[in-house]
Each structure stands twice: as C-alpha cells, then as structure tokens.
Amino acid sequence: MWLRLAGALLVTLAAIGALEYFGVSRMLGGRSPDEARAAAYAPAREIFWVMIFFVVMATSLLAAARRWAGHLKRAVAGPKR
C-alpha cells in the first residue's frame, strides 16, 4: 500500500513539474505574458496545483482504503468452503 501511495505521489509531482515546465499554469492563469512577468507572486497558480495534488492523493487514498476494506472483509469472513 505504501509503495503505491509513494508511486502516486511521485507521479503526481512529476506531472505537476512537467506541466509547470511546459507553461500550462501560465495558460490557465488568465494573464498575459507581460502581466505574468510583472507579478512576482501568483497565489492562484499555487492554489490550482495544490488542489490538483489533493484530488490525486485523495483518489489514491480512497483506492487504497477500498482495497484494504476488501482484504479485511475476506479475512473476517474466513476461507471459502
């Protein structure tokens, strides 16, 4: 489980880094290139990426919880006859 969560974290961070490198946040930020250069700090961009990160991590945690619930249900029910 922890290996899958770590993998999801690494994939998420790599995707965010790649999208930032290619300038996706600038296109989604709604600013012209001149305004983007003039703005030293853009909190909307950071909030956007943090929300993407939380959605992906919540999805990973939900999938892990469902998997563990299935394992627990099978363990409590005992072996099939």
How far apart (Å, rounded) are the C-alpha atoms in residues 4 and 27?
Answer: 31
Please state the φ and ψ torsions of residue 70, each to the nearest 5 degrees: -65, -40
How far apart (Å, rounded) are the C-alpha atoms in residues 21 and 31?
Answer: 17
pLDDT in the model for residue 41: 59
pLDDT in the model for residue 10: 84
E strands, the chain, in order: none
How far apart (Å, rounded) are the C-alpha atoms in residues 41 and 54?
Answer: 21
pLDDT in the model for residue 1: 63
pLDDT in the model for residue 4: 76
Q: What pTM does this model have? A: 0.47
Going residue by residue through the chain, which has 81 residues, state the pLDDT in tens, using 9 for 90 and above. Answer: 678 778 877 888 888 788 778 777 666 666 566 665 555 556 766 777 788 888 888 888 888 889 889 888 888 887 776
pLDDT in the model for residue 34: 64
